[in-house]
Amino acid sequence: MSRKALITGITGQDGSYLAELLVAKGYEVHGLVRRVALEDPGHRLRRITTVRDQIVLHAGSLESFPSLFQVVRQTQPDECYHLAAQSFVSYSFDDEFSTLNTNINGTHYVLAALTAAAPECRFYFAGSSEMFGKVEETPQAETTRFHPRSAYGISKVAGFDLTRNYREAYGLHASSGILFNHESPRRGYEFVTRKITAGAAAIASGKARELRLGNLEARRDWGHAPDYVEAMWAMLQQDTPDDYVVATGETHSVREFCEMAFSLVGLDYREHVVTDPALYRPAEVDMLVGNAAKARKALGWCSRTDFQSLVRMMVEADCCAAGVEPGNRR
């Protein structure tokens, strides 16, 4: 009999790649989606079109324990990947209340539903490098102290602690991935990498003239999302649940990302990128770079995509969508 997986957040970047990976591995894949997604499939289910006929979608909400409990009871999953969240850090400054409610209560409800209705199920929590925030050491590892700088980061620390406590108190096979930024052509346009690659393509095609960004000096450890969902799966194949940093070990600034993306379309970013103070965050995470030695040793995982290949892949996808040829290829 095939193993059953339940994915919350299946319509997002990571959920869609994970669904493809699990379908390819022969899993019976179930996804939790909002009812509105089922009513607007062309838009909201666009990332999962490749596997739409091979997965089962269930309407439910992170805000409703009864809906989560019912989906868990019906599906009886062997593995549950909890990816759904309000994941845009910037928005968490505009609405701390909904970010904390959705992210903390949603994680708690999923954990409680599994413990009550499918206690043998293995659980993955999508932790984040935003938990390190104002970093206390470099590179950041599983042992680095958390110092979150946003309601989003705080909600992820709470989810991480809830996950650990369900492991220790109730014996749930519950693991957290502390994932550093991971991108792809499926990234949402609100995140800086996609904003830059879509912006560069729009300017190259003559549809836009400038790109407004916030802090260009922030540094991130950017990897490729399909590589990262493999680490999620590997965590749940371990006999013992644990927490793992997933990162490339390289850091680059937003400015470097701009420079490379614009050069790939034959443009100089300095002539098009405008810094807008309104896009700065009230508290910034200046620098992130992860140490994934534990994941490498225990899971045999490593990042397979370097920074240049990642930027190129995203620029090419956005140029293709905008109908322009990427110029000046490196």
Active site residues: 128, 130, 152
**Residue 237, Cβ neighbours under 10 Å: how many?**
9
Query: β-strand 173-179 against 243-246: which pairing, if any?
Result: parallel
Find the shortest distance in angstroms from Cβ 28 to ligand G4F. 28
Q: Which residues contact 320 (CB under 8 A, 6 or more apart)?
A: none
Find the shortest distance in angstroms from Cβ 9 to ligand G4F. 11
Q: Is 158 in the site for ligand G4F (CB under 6 A)?
A: no
Which one of residues 17, 109, 125, 180 is an interface residue with ligand G4F (CB under 6 A)? 180
* 296 CB burial (10 A radius; 0-12, 13-18, 19+): middle
CA dihedral 271, 273, 278, 282 (to 10 degrees): -130
Of residues 240, 114, 108, 118, the one with CA closest to residue 163 = 108
Enumerate residues 29-48 that contact ligand G4F by CB under 6 A.
Answer: none
Q: Is 208 in the site for ligand G4F (CB under 6 A)?
A: no
Beta bridge mates, 213: 275
Enumerate residues 82-101 that contact ligand G4F by CB under 6 A.
Answer: 87, 89-90
Q: Is 214 in the site for ligand G4F (CB under 6 A)?
A: yes
Enumerate residues 281-300 that contact ligand G4F by CB under 6 A.
Answer: 281, 284-285
Of residues 272, 283, 116, 145, the one with CA closest to residue 205 = 272
Nearer to ligand G4F (CB atom), residue 41 or residue 214: 214
Nearer to ligand G4F (CB atom), residue 25 or residue 209: 209
Q: Is 134 in the site for ligand G4F (CB under 6 A)?
A: no
Q: How far apart are CA 288 and CA 258, in angstroms?
A: 18
How many residues bind to ligand G4F according to rule CB under 6 A?
A: 23
Chain residues that interact with ligand G4F, rule: CB under 6 A: 87, 89-90, 128-130, 180-181, 190-193, 195, 213-215, 218, 220, 254, 279, 281, 284-285
